[in-house]
Amino acid sequence: MKLDATDLRYVTSDEFRVLTAVEMGSKNHEVVPLSLIVQISGLRNGGINKLVGSLAKRNLVSRVQNAKYDGYRLTYGGYDFLAMRALSKRDSMHSVGNQIGVGKESDIYIVADAEGNEMVLKLHRQVHIFFAESKFSICFFSLGRVSFRAIKEKRDYLGKRKSASWLYLSRLAAQKEWEFMKILHQHDFPVPRPIDQARHTILMEFIDAYPLRQVSEVENPGKLYSQLMDVIVRFAQAGLIHGDYNEFNILIKRDTGEPIVIDFPQMVSTSHENAEWHACTSIEIKSVEESGKGNFKLDVMVEASGFGRKEMKILAEYMEAVRQEEGDHESSGFDEEELDEEDGSESADEETEDAINLDEKRQNLDNGRPISNEAVEASS
Ligand code: ADP
Ligand code: MG
């Protein structure tokens, strides 16, 4: 998906109100009816069609027609826009440059602040674990379905819901990565410096580096090997397992050759029920912990940060559900529609809430007659 930086400038304040209304309406509607958009945005009915039409033209929302009513969904483009607007409103970021990475789980862009300093913006996409077999011999680690079966047994994520919305899940993934990056950086782990976070995005330091995957020769392999092992051991001493420690997620700095570790949405605590499996098999987690060095617990600190056990569980179990789904259907992906169910527990970013006086609108929502998801499903 291409980000259009010019859109950031050319969305009018009324269009922004409408876009925000679609986002808010998405919390309890799979397809947000036009009448609800009118109600939340507080704009006159007559003008809305044009505004929402111009947003749809730029793929910030998409029109959905079904038997009962016509409505709109927020797209990833729209969600990207809202996140970038939040970041630029608080002066964290000023302009968008080239896309440098397309993962299964994210899009990565070079962006800059007002002084032109380069940063990296990671936009989380639908939560989705990459099943690459690692060829990198240090790692001894490859993701597979087998070990996640154990987690699946206890699946109670999302309660009655079949799945949660991509809005919520991509935001959870970003929040989790943000909390880990902050704490790891504070404790001098070789990770990018975290700068800001909004919705499903993270802004971080740009590392001038090559992914280890692209590096065919290193000056001192022995040194790199021990640096990388040292990082794994330090993770374990701090109560953490990266969960995806491989040549795609290790960057080798161009100037110094130092490794920088990225990409933490699957990070787990060593107290996790499947910890031994998530770790590299050559490392005895318990013995590292018991060696007396593991005296500070970053996993506990992250939990205290607001991204708690519950969120961690929702995300982990969701990731597992995706895997299971893939196994069942033998497909390599799934589309937004599958995920795009009700959710709703999260509130919009502060900037948005300011812009639209959330409390007042919530009241309107409560007093109004939001159409239930069941109704949406039944009609589609
Ligand atoms: P994904 O979850 O999609 O795998 P990653 O966080 O691993 O996303 O990033 C994907 C790619 O983007 C990396 O392999 C790397 O090339 C690039 N990248 C990510 N973060 C940075 C960064 N802070 N500095 C430089 N390049 C980065
Ligand atoms: Mg990665």
Residue ranges with CB less than 5 Å from ion ligand 2: 248-249, 263
337 pLDDT band, cuts 50/70/90, is: very low
Dig out the tokens for 312 from the structure.
């961690």
- Residue 68 to residue 380: CA distance in whole angstroms: 8
**Residue 355 beta carbon below 6 angstroms from any ligand 1 atom:** no
- Residue 95 to residue 88: CA distance in whole angstroms: 8
* Buried-exposed string 179-211: b where 16+ CB fall within 10 A, e elsewhere: bbbbbbbeeebbbbebbbbbbbbbbbbbbebee
Ligand nearest to the CA of 126: 1
CA 159: distance to chain centroid? 21
Q: What is the DSSP string of 10-36?
A: H--HHHHHHHHHHHHHTTT-SSEEHHH
CA of 283 to the centre of ligand 1 (A): 26
pLDDT in tens, 195-209: 999 999 999 999 999
**Residue 122 beta carbon below 6 angstroms from any ligand 1 atom:** yes
pLDDT in tens, 263-274: 987 888 877 666
Domains of the chain, by residue range, sit at 1-89, 208-326
Please check the confidence at residue 16 and state whether its pLDDT lies above 50.
yes
- Residue 168 to residue 269: CA distance in whole angstroms: 22
pTM (two decimals):
0.74
Class of domain 208-326: mainly alpha
Q: How far is CA 94 from CA 2, 48, 79, 84, 308, in A?
A: 17, 29, 17, 9, 31
CATH for 1-89, options being 3.40.50.620, 3.30.360.10, 3.40.50.410, 1.10.10.10: 1.10.10.10
Decide: helix, strand or coil at residue 4.
coil
Of all protein residues, the one whose alpha carbon is nearest to atom 19 of ligand 1 is 108
Dig out the tokens for 67 from the structure.
């038997």
Ligand nearest to the CA of 174: 1
> ipTM greater than 0.90, yes or no?
yes
Is 230 annotated as catalytic? Answer: no
